[in-house]
């Protein structure tokens, strides 16, 4: 049985709002087809659950699939039991700016759901500017507490709560009593719009520039709903041998940078993405020689608790406490006193803002789908067309960090090729991060430090250091051919042959392998 952490009445300090207490099912009457909705949440953390689940139950029970559809604006992805279930029930028309779930991705790629992709820091501010919609019809916000002035204390993430409240017409507040109040952990700021925007004076990961809650007009609140749903954080991804090798290359690189005087002994604030490689890197830091570390990132995963436990991490700033449903969140709650005062949760518009990222000198580390030999990276579209999750916040850090690192396995598993699909290609079929943004590319094969290199030098280093041995001669042959033809025509700054640069991808689509037999333009795609 889930333990209780106080009652709704204890969490709602503005007692007049208790008159608006309502069951989640009773809120269904407020929702009409075509509405613009804003939710709290950032990854499966701090998102509303009671009301979205009640709405999904209502649609399913009454066969309203496709008849009650909404435009959904959230800071990032949230729990599958909400947005992915909504997609299954055809309840989503538009979805910004990021999502996770098999069914919602299927809806996007089949054309049923209109999704837009945007750097997360820009989405946050542009939502507040009214670029996506002039009015959020209903905001659904999960909170820890409602204070006497009506302001809202978030739960395990900040997301875009402030920007949603700026343009929300009506607000439903879910007070989550299945976990402790997170009051005191947040640094709530709602940036003003230009020309009145103020600087974000964050000089250390632990600095705070805001308040413990988001202002909210109590007159806009139409319902207060008690929620007893815990965050359904995604399962912890174990590091594999490739991830451990990548982490080892990065640890060695950090050591060289410290020795060269380009990094201090305690490095600089770290930003790390999600997944097995990110976990392996954080695990490497927990066992490594670097102490008094700080983190300035957008998502804190389970391995950050390991880094705290190692005694090497002093403070972590994030938008979200994105821990696994088990064992992550129980571990955090059971050791609240150990972790809580070392974590600051910020709004997306601050956590991912270019200004503090650049000022702090963040070390950005993220995983793409693939990158090409000139260091353009694709993070979103498999084959250049099939959306996975979205750009997320990686570009915010990769454009503005002190060191910009992308790490990937050299190949990904394939059912039709024993080696797998190469993640190092002649030309990326979609570009999210350009060659101008990235400093270092890493695979389990090695690390390519691209700083100060011209394009052809970069390409050779990427092939030498990052490509899988099975693909290295194929890539080298293409590069040599492209150099010869382009330089002969005096168009050789960044040689590409557009009649064949995607031949490996085309061969994969037709024959199930990227191991082409010949780059000859006169030869069709290689048979098995």
**String of DSSP letters for 223-277:** EEEEE-PPP-PPPP----HHHHHHHHHHHHHHHHHHHTTSS-TT---EEE-SSHH
Determine which one of 83, 174, 298, 370 is catalytic: 298
Q: Is 145 a catalytic residue?
A: no
How far are the Cα atoms of 241, 245, 289 from residue 248, in angstroms, in the given order?
A: 11, 5, 12
**String of DSSP letters for 458-526:** HHHHHHHHHS-TTTHHHHHHHHHHHHHHHHHTT--SS---TTTTTHHHHHHHHHS-S--S---TTS-SP
State the pairing for strand pair 70-74/36-39.
parallel
Residue 56 half-sphere exposure, CB side, CA atoms within 13 Å?
18
The answer to whether 43 and 78 have CB atoms below 8 angstroms apart is yes
Q: Which of 149, 156, 110, 119 is nearest to 385 (CA)?
A: 110
Q: Which of 108, 66, 122, 112 is nearest to 91 (CA)?
A: 66
What is residue 404's three-state secondary structure? strand
CB-based contacts of 521, cutoff 8 Å, min separation 6? 499, 500
Q: Give exposure, 496-508, as e/b (b: 16+ Cβ within 10 Å).
A: bbeebbbbbbbbb
The number of helices, as runs of H, and strands, as runs of E, in the chain is 17, 25
What is residue 356's three-state secondary structure? helix
- State how far the Cα of 47 lies from the Cα of 320, in Å rounded to an integer: 11
Cross-strand pairs, 365: 272, 405
How far are the Cα atoms of 226, 255, 363, 398, 437 from residue 260, in angstroms, in the given order?
A: 55, 9, 16, 22, 22
The size of the chain, in residues, is 528
- Residues with catalytic function: 298
């Amino acid at each position: 049985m889930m333990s209780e952490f106080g009652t709704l009445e204890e969490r709602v300090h503005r007692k007049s709002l208790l008159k608006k207490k309502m069951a989640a099912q009773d809120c269904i009457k407020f929702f009409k087809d075509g509405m613009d909705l804003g939710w709290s949440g950032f990854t499966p953390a701090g998102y509303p659950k009671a009301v979205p689940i009640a709405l999904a139950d209502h649609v399913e029970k009454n066969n309203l699939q496709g008849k009650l559809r909404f435009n959904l604006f959230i800071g990032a992805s949230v729990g599958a039991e909400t947005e992915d279930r909504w997609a299954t029930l055809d309840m989503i028309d538009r979805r910004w700016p990021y999502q996770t779930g098999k069914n919602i991705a299927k809806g996007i790629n089949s054309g049923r759901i209109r999704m837009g992709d945007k750097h997360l820091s820009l989405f946050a501010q542009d939502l507040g500017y009214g670029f996506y919609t002039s009015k959020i019809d209903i905001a659904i916000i999960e909170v820890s507490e409602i204070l006497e002035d009506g302001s809202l204390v978030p739960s395990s993430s900040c997301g875009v709560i402030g920007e949603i409240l700026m343009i929300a017409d009506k607000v439903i507040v879910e007070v989550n009593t299945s976990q402790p109040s997170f009051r005191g952990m947040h640094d709530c700021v709602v940036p003003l719009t230009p020309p009145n925007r103020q600087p974000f004076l964050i000089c250390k990961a632990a600095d705070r520039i805001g308040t413990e809650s988001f202002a909210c007009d109590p007159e806009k609140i139409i319902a207060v709903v008690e929620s007893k749903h815990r965050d359904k954080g995604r399962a912890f991804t174990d590091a594999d041998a490739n991830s451990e090798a990548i982490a080892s290359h990065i640890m060695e690189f950090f050591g060289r940078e410290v020795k060269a005087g380009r990094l201090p002994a305690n490095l600089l604030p770290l930003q790390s993405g999600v997944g097995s490689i990110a976990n392996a890197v954080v695990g490497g830091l927990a066992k490594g020689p670097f102490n008094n570390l700080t983190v300035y990132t957008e998502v804190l995963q389970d391995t950050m608790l390991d880094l705290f436990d190692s005694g090497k991490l002093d403070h972590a700033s994030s938008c979200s406490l994105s821990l696994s449903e088990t064992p992550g969140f129980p571990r955090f709650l059971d050791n609240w006193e150990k972790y809580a005062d070392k974590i600051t949760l910020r709004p997306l518009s601050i956590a991912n803002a270019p200004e503090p990222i650049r000022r702090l000198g963040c070390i950005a580390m993220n995983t793409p789908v693939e990158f090409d030999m000139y260091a353009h990276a694709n993070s979103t579209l498999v084959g250049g067309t099939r959306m996975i999750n979205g750009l997320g916040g990686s570009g915010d850090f990769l454009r503005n960090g002190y060191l910009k690192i992308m790490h990937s396995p050299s190949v990904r598993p394939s059912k039709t090729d024993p080696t797998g699909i190469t993640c190092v290609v002649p030309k990326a079929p979609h570009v999210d991060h350009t060659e101008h943004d990235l400093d270092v590319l890493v695979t389990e094969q090695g690390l390519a430090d691209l700083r100060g290199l011209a394009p052809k030098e970069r390409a050779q280093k990427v092939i030498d250091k990052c490509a899988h041995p099975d693909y290295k001669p194929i890539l080298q042959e293409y590069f040599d051919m492209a150099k010869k033809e382009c330089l002969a025509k005096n168009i050789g700054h960044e040689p590409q042959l557009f009649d064949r640069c995607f031949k490996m991808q085309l061969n994969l689509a037709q024959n199930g392998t990227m191991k082409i037999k010949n780059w000859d333009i006169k030869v069709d795609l290689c048979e098995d």
